Amino acid sequence: MNKGTFTGVGLGPGDPELITLKGFRALQAADIIFYPVSAESEGQYHSFSANILDQLQVYKPCEPLLFPMKGKGTQKFYDEAFLRIKQEYENGKNVVLVSEGDLFFYSTFGYIFKLAKEAKIPCRLIPGIPAFIAASALGNQPLAEKTTGLEVIAKPESFDAVSKALKHQSTIVIMKMSVLKGWHSFLKATGRPFLYAERVGTGNEFFTDNAEELEFRKIPYFALLIIYPENAN
């Protein structure tokens, strides 16, 4: 039996209209679509990707793959997910694995891609729009222009680490910022222009450039912060 194909599709940050035309066509051509889910609590699962697929109304068989967001033993889940993908691929199916945002920007897809390379399974990659790119459009402020640099920090260890990055006079993008508490006070102290955004592209989207609105706000996992240079307009 001839083997199938394996394609990775970045769905974008949440708005179904932000998927690329190439990515949408790949979904339409799929025999089966796999999407990641994470466990929020015992018996409760969540998937941003599933929400996007539902809105796109792609009428193809879809199957969840469990990927814990953190904790020990995560490699076991990657291995099990890849074996399921490999099974369909070897059965001649056109297999698609989707991921919210972009495939290679803090995405679970990267772990599966490594396993596919080790197994010598060719993979077509269709990038998607990462959340911080979509967020920058909400703020009506260029991320970088002329000679301005851009630095991305994920899960900052401390506010001191963020302050150190700010000395470079670059635009700083902070992903997974919920690991630190006290952003309201920190942003007021820096005095730098910023944009805070959470759940970009979804029905629960929220964004602000006012630190006061963050004083009592619970920062979710899918939140990010863009801190601009002092001379940004």
pLDDT of residue 70: 62
Q: Which of 188, 171, 182, 176 is nearest to 220 (CA)?
A: 176
Q: Above 60 in pLDDT, residue 22? A: yes
Q: What are phi and psi of 4, to 5 degrees?
A: -90, -145
Q: Above 70 in pLDDT, residue 233? A: no
Alpha-carbon distance of 214 to 188, in angstroms, equals 10
Would you mind telling me the total number of residues written for the chain in this entry? 233
> H helices of 101-191, where?
109-118, 131-138, 159-166, 183-190
**Cβ 206 vs Cβ 188: under 8 Å:** no
Task: Tell me the pLDDT band of 69, cut-offs 50, 70 and 90.
Answer: low
Instruction: Tell me the mean pLDDT in the region 47-70.
Output: 89
Residue appearing with tokens 């990267």: 110
Q: Which of 48, 179, 30 is nearest to 97 (CA)?
A: 30
pLDDT of residue 44: 61
Task: Tell me the pLDDT band of 73, cut-offs 50, 70 and 90.
Answer: low
Q: Cα 112 vs. chain centroid, distance in angstroms?
A: 15
What's the half-sphere exposure (Cβ side, CA atoms, 13 Å) at 63? 15
Q: Above 70 in pLDDT, residue 41? A: no
Segment of 43-52, 88-97, 144-153 carrying the highest mean pLDDT: 88-97
Helices 74-90 & 109-118 angle (0-180, nearest 10):
60
Q: pLDDT per residue over 162-184, tens digit each? A: 999 999 889 999 999 999 999 99
Alpha-carbon distance of 135 to 217, in angstroms, equals 18
Alpha-carbon distance of 187 to 203, in angstroms, equals 26
Q: pLDDT per residue over 85-131, tens digit each? A: 999 999 999 999 999 999 999 999 999 999 999 999 999 999 999 99
3-state secondary structure of 80: helix
pLDDT of residue 222: 87
Q: Which amino acid is at 118?
A: E
Give CA angle at 137 (136, 138), nearest 5°: 90
Task: Tell me the pLDDT band of 72, cut-offs 50, 70 and 90.
Answer: low
Q: What are phi and psi of 215, to 5 degrees?
A: -55, -40
Residue appearing with tokens 């001839």: 2
Beta strands 206-208 and 194-198 are antiparallel
Q: What are phi and psi of 36, to 5 degrees?
A: -80, 145
For the chain, give the percent of residues with pLDDT over 70: 94
DSSP state of 230: T
